[in-house]
A and B are shown apart, each in its own frame.
Chain A
């Protein structure tokens, strides 16, 4: 994906659903319908901020059968690099944005015998679209949704109305926590677990499922890492013959794009592997922040995911 393939959309609705989360409705500027997607898909929203472009991935939470608008939920991040603040503060009904085509890196297993969905906070968003696919089907499912407190329970009315007893709510403020071990130890054969939420929750679910004997092919998770800030560094793009400065609060990918070089991307969150870039020369160390490369590949230092990873180095030459 690159920006020449984006779709122009207009914001046609904004609702503040919790103190931190806004719900946006986006309609195509050209009219008609938006591309078909399946539950679990995300789009990358391209925002023309003051002096810089933000490109953030957001899960689609609307009904996959209804394509006149897309809906996303955006949490205002405390330590924002600008994207979520832009969406919350600068975007109004009538604003125009560019979006990339939907990509699904968090799809439901089509032959699962049961789906166990576990959401923490804003991690509810991909499940909202998946539930539309599951609803009315023959495959049993449960949603376990954990939030800080009642006022932070985004989209709760919609979930209650549709899901009834399949929805299990947990409020931190009332000391309620998901009993992961007893939940994962008692699932029928052929169950798949899906988790989206804070990094700690995802790690805990993966570790607990493995402890209960779950094989990796039945464990699914999605976490878009925001590119972490770090020290500034310089990089040379060998094919484009360009020196690029990467400031502390900008990702390597963003800096390369700002220099006018396009890198193919899909998720911009260290998940999909699409921006995989070869390293030709390195004097220093890489700071890998992605979930894509294996530990062995990270140690080799022959490639990098520029969407979230950085370097602390004297020289870094990329095959771009």
Chain B
């Protein structure tokens, strides 16, 4: 099938403090607090001064970790949802200096949207670290009508705009922060492979 062995699929790794950077910007959503708090603990032991130049933007959801962040970091901001956090993130990047490292932890779709903005500011791989935790639900870009369907958990999904049945590929676009969806029943309309929950 078209869904595996594709190099563009993002690969994540456990977050590590990169104290070669001078400024540290952390974005977290929900259970993404845990990896960020782990990085902060690392900084405490290896380079406590870095915490003076650390800033946290966080969406608490059901996991209220704000007070834990505030125990170590002076500049912690809380947001109701990803859209509000990412608006603020964009403003901060516009004012940031070279030497900034970005840490992102949360569901894959949140990481993807943050990376898309980071890319607009020409942050490269060696300036960004991301750890995926939480939902694997995908943003799926319809290659036929260019609409993006959010929160996709199945291998086959109906496009929210053109209503074509799309096969969700591993082919990922950093620019649109979404996986590519291609029409799955183009040969024989209505003939679909089994629909399975895959991205939980």
What residues of chain A have their CB less than 8 Å away from a CB belonging to chain B?
Answer: 109, 111-113, 184-192, 209-210, 212-218
Contact = CB atoms under 8 A, between A and B. Distances in A.
A190 B122 contact: yes
Interface of A is mostly: loop
B125 A218 contact: no
B101 interface: yes
Given A210-B20, A213-B20, A187 B97 contact: yes
Given A189-B122, A218-B124, A213 B96 contact: no
Given A210-B20, A213-B23, A111 B97 contact: no
B96 A189 contact: yes
Interface string B112-137: 00000000011111110000000000
B121 A214 contact: no
Contacts of B20: 210, 213, 215
A217 B125 contact: yes
A185 B96 contact: no
A184 B126 contact: no
Contact of A213 (B98, B121, B122): B98
A215 B126 contact: yes
A209 B123 CA distance: 16
B64 interface: no
A-B pairs with lowest CB-CB distance, top 8: A213-B99, A213-B22, A190-B122, A215-B126, A217-B124, A189-B96, A187-B98, A213-B21
Nearest to B100: A189
A184 B124 contact: no
A214 B97 CA distance: 10
A209 B101 CA distance: 14
B93 interface: yes
B124 to A, nearest CB: 4
Interface in B69-105: 93, 96-101
Contacts of B93: 189
B10 to A, nearest CB: 18
Given A189-B93, A217-B126, A113 B121 contact: yes
Contact of B124 (A186, A187, A215): A215
A212 B20 CA distance: 8
A117 to B, nearest CB: 15
A190 B123 contact: yes
Contacts of B98: 184, 187-191, 209, 212-214, 218
Contacts of A212: 22, 98-99
Contacts of A189: 93, 96-98, 100, 121-123
